[in-house]
Structure 1
Amino acid sequence: DAVDLLGRRARLTLGRAAGPERAPADPVEALGLTSRERDVLRLVSDGRTNRQIAEELFISPKTASVHVSNILAKLGVSGRGEAAAVAHRLALFPAGPLVSGSAE
C-alpha cells in the first residue's frame, strides 16, 4: 500500500516487471517528463535561472517558469533545489568533463 501511495504521488505507473526488457530505457520517461521538461530540468540542475533557461532554449521566461512548475509537480518536490537533488540522485544528467579556465 505504501509503495502504491508513493507511486501515485510521484505520478508513476506501477506494474509487475516481467524482467530487464520491461525496464524503461530512459529514467526521465519513467518520471513522466516531456523532452522539453527534460531539457529544463537539466538546466535547473545546473543552477540556471528561468531567464537563463529561456535564453538557452529560445523560449520566454514565463514559459520556462511554467515548465519548472510542471517539473516540480511531476517530481513531487517543492523547489528547484529538491528537483536538482532528484536529478543528481538518479544520475539523470551525467557530469561532463571539467573545463579549466586557464590555458596551458
Structure 2
Amino acid sequence: PGSPPADPAEALGLTGRERDVLRLVSDGRTNRQIAEELFISPKTASVHVSNILAKLGVSGRGEAAAVAHRLALFPAERLTSGSTE
C-alpha cells in the first residue's frame, strides 16, 4: 500500500474544484458568489457544496469551514471574509 496523501483535502477525497469551492465557503461566500467567482452556475455551486458536506461528514457550511480551518487547508491570509479581489 502507498503512503497516505500529504494533502488533507486529497485525503478527504475532495476534487480540485471542490477544494476551490470549500475555500470560498470558508470565506463566507454564498452559492451565487461562488458561482460568479468560479464561472459556474449557482446550481453547480450548490451541488459542489452538497458533495463537500457529505465528504466531510458535516451538516452545514459553518462546520465545513471549521474543518477546513482545523486542517489548515487554506492559509489564513487568503480567508478574508467580505473582501473583493
What TM-score do you get using the length of structure 1 for normalisation? 0.71
**What aligned pairs does 1:1-104 form with structure 2 within 5 A after superposition?**
22-96=3-77
CA distance in structure 2 between the partners assigned to 1:66 and 1:55 by the alignment = 15
Distance 1:73 1:95, change over 3 A: same
1:25 positional shift = 2.1
> Which of the pair has more CA radius of gyration?
1
Paired residues of 2:21 and 2:49 also in contact (CA < 8 A): yes
> Offset at 1:46?
0.4
Q: Which runs of 5+ in 1 are unaligned?
A: 1-14, 100-104
TM-score (norm 2): 0.86
Q: Which amino acid aligns with 1:28?
A: A
Report how many aligned residue pairs link the two structures: 80
CA drift at 1:24: 1.5
The one-letter amino acid of 1:34's match is T
Shift of 1:49: 0.2
- Distance in 2 (CA, whole Å) between partners of 1:47 and 1:98 is 9
Residue by residue over 1:55-104, the C-alpha shift from the partner in whole angstroms, topping out at 9 and shown as x without a partner, is: 000000000000000000000000000000000011000111799xxxxx
Structure 2 gaps of 5+ residues are 81-85
